[in-house]
Amino acid sequence: MSDKTFDYIVIGAGSAGCTIATNLIERHKGTVLLLEAGGRDKDIFIHMPGGLGKAIPRYTWPYAAEPSDSVKGRSIAVPQGRVLGGSSSVNGMLYVRGHRNDYERWENEFGCAGWGAEEMLRYFAKAENNESLTAPYHGNKGHLQVTEIRYRHPLSQAFVRAGQQMGLDYLTDYNGERQEGVGFYQATIFNGERGSTAATYLKAIKNHPEFSLEVDALVERIEIEGGRATGVTYRQGGRRVTARARAEVIVAAGAIGSPKILQLSGIGPRSDLEAAGVPVKHVLPVGENFHDHMHTSVNATIKTPISLYGQDRGWRALKHGIEWMFFRSGILTSPVLEGFAFVDTCNQGQPDVQFHFLPTIDAFDDPVGATKGRTHGLTIKTGHLQPYSRGRVMIRSSNPEDLPRIDGRYLSDCRDVDGQMRAAKLALKILRQPALAEHVDEIFSPACPPDDDKGIEDWVRGAAKTVYHPVGTCRMGVDSASSVVDTQLRVHGIAGLRVADSSTMPSIPSGNTNAPTIALAEKASDLIANAAR
């Protein structure tokens, strides 16, 4: 059946989609329909920062990369948000922009004029309402609330001291003039609650008469007529709905969802579309250039029972719950990932390694079972920031309910293995510094000394997992042979159709990807609004 007509249809109510929809409404650019495959963000564990471990399995697409020899035949999970707010409703809430060189590469290496460091800084600042920092590197009037993490665990404080003992500078602003150093993350948390794009951006327009939101709406395809996107067909509540778009269809379903939707609509590699039984509308390298951040968890037990272990059980859980429910304070206001370090381990002029410190053992995703039977401890998540391995995303069939195939090719490039090994060895070094050494009992993962290169490599290949930062599958560029969208984020060869999310990033930023995705969506909003003049 045919339903209503709108000026704009935005597919995906995540970090990018909520940002774009809000901007279009606030600028009075016309009517907007926002489609979300998941449900509403009502669960208390979404809004409670310390509840992220319970939110992730409940409100994500269960994406997983296919088994690969480079990671010992493992299938690696790549969950992405499937709920209002998308991944901003289930992520670690850390506000990280990456390094200015990342965006200089976009402009100079990939030919994406207008996407350099200074331009992106303008959009980071536009999006942000930072409680502590201001110009020239930060903004104080945007929708995105960025705050200090109020609760700091004693082990996180010890980690920050240990980083300084290792020779790193203490940083209060790792998103400013320099990135290398150690300190405490800022987070998208406000008044003790998660500040997702649904709770910040979308909240500002939710009752606007020109805004429409449909949840539990699974997109079947973008309607393309005469080389132009004219609308979207989606499934909802057992019925099929086609909504029409007068101006544009904007795809913002993420680095796995966006290529899936384009391919279901007949846009992609000919061989993949034909194999899936989808009529070919336009040939583009949709799904190529998939890449992601990998990390390993360096784990240690501690001498005294002061970690977060057991704080989610019994009377302790009741105490923390009451503290959060009535006062929005205490442990549950922490995203758990409290301390950071960014380090240049290869003298390349910018950090190539990032640490996330946890005052507990990371047993959430343990591919080798190393944490079984362990109680009190700590974890340093160690990651290489500039991966070289590239994979691809392909639909399995024409059925939108089928999850796409992900050939992640994780660690297929030996330079990525080297980077992960350098990161792990650095984590083992920081654990030997006095501030942490006084707490550490046994380093059990990896269970080999730092100078055992063969052992460290074997552990990396068996234990590495993603940080859920996939990008690049609808890459921005100037050549339709190697990119999917142009520098205005318009799909090559299809009028009235844009992609605007992490899938369009030519290469991954050196850090968590949520803040860069929102900044990209802010710039996309300008591009769309200016085209409507």
> For the segment 281-329, what is each residue's pLDDT rounded down to a tens digit?
999 999 999 999 999 999 999 999 999 999 999 999 999 999 999 999 9
The closest alpha carbon to 385, from 79, 97, 65, 95, belongs to 97
Euclidean distance between CA atoms 330 and 333, whole angstroms: 6
CA 432/CA 47 separation, integer angstroms: 36
Interatomic CA distance for residues 435 and 162, integer angstroms: 5
Residue 457 has pLDDT above 60, yes or no: yes
pLDDT band at 269 (very low <50, low <70, confident <90, very high): very high
The whole model's pTM is what?
0.97
As given in the structure block, the two tokens for residue 86 are: 């998308």
- In angstroms, the CA 459 to CA 462 distance is 5
Name residues whose C-beta falls within 8 Å of residue 401's C-beta, 6 or more positions apart in sequence. Answer: 218
Residues 6+ apart with CB under 8 A from 153: 308, 334, 338, 359
Mean pLDDT of the chain: 96
pLDDT for position 440? 98
Q: What positions carry a catalytic annotation?
A: 469
Strand partners, 398: none
pLDDT 10s digits, 393-444 = 999 999 999 999 999 999 999 999 999 999 999 999 999 999 999 999 999 9
> 251 - beta bridge partners?
11, 499
Closest CA relative to residue 463, chosen from 263, 216, 295, 261: 295
Residue 3 pLDDT greater than 90, yes or no: no
Q: Which of 247, 248, 223, 225 is nearest to 234 (CA)?
A: 223
Q: Return the structure tokens found at 215.
A: 């949840």
Tell me the two tokens of residue 363.
């047993």
Mean pLDDT of 179-197: 98
Task: In whole angstroms, give the CA distance from residue 226 to residue 428.
Answer: 59
Question: How far is Cα 202 from Cα 32, in angstroms, rounded to an integer?
Answer: 12
435-445 pLDDT per residue, tens: 999 999 999 99
The DSSP output letter for 419 is H
- Rounded distance between C-alpha atoms, residue 497 and residue 518, angstroms: 19
**Beta carbons within 10 angstroms of residue 161's beta carbon:** 17
Residue the block writes with tokens 């999970």: 77
Residue 1 has pLDDT above 60, yes or no: no
The more confident residue out of 3 and 376 is: 376
Q: Considering only CA atoms, which of 295, 294, 299 is closest in space to residue 446? A: 299
Burial class (CB in 10 A: 0-12, 13-18, 19+), 325: exposed
Number of alpha helices (DSSP H) and beta strands (DSSP E) in the chain: 13, 26
On the CB side of 456, how many CA atoms lie within 13 Å of its CA? 19
Angle at 71 between CA 432 and CA 470, to 5 degrees: 90
Of the candidates 86, 15, 91, 78, which has an alpha carbon nearest to the alpha carbon of residue 335? 91
Helix residue ranges, H only, 205-313: 254-264, 270-276
Report the distance separating Cα 466 and Cα 144, nearest Å: 25
In this predicted structure, the answer to whether residue 264 has a pLDDT above a threshold of 50 is yes
**Mean pLDDT across 212-226:** 98
With 0-12 / 13-18 / 19 or more C-beta atoms within 10 angstroms meaning exposed / middle / buried, residue 4 is exposed
Q: How confident is the model at residue 364 (pLDDT cuts 50, 70, 90)?
A: confident
Bond before 446 cis per omega within 30 degrees: yes
Tokens of 422: 């350098």
The closest alpha carbon to 55, from 66, 40, 44, belongs to 44
Contact assessment for residue 303 and residue 149, using Cβ atoms and an 8 Å cutoff: no
Provide the angle, in degrees to the nearest 10, between the axes of the packed helices 414-431 and 453-463.
110
Work out the pLDDT band at 533, boundaries 50, 70, 90: low
Ordered domains of the chain (ranges, CATH)? 1-96+197-293+388-411+468-533 (3.50.50.60)
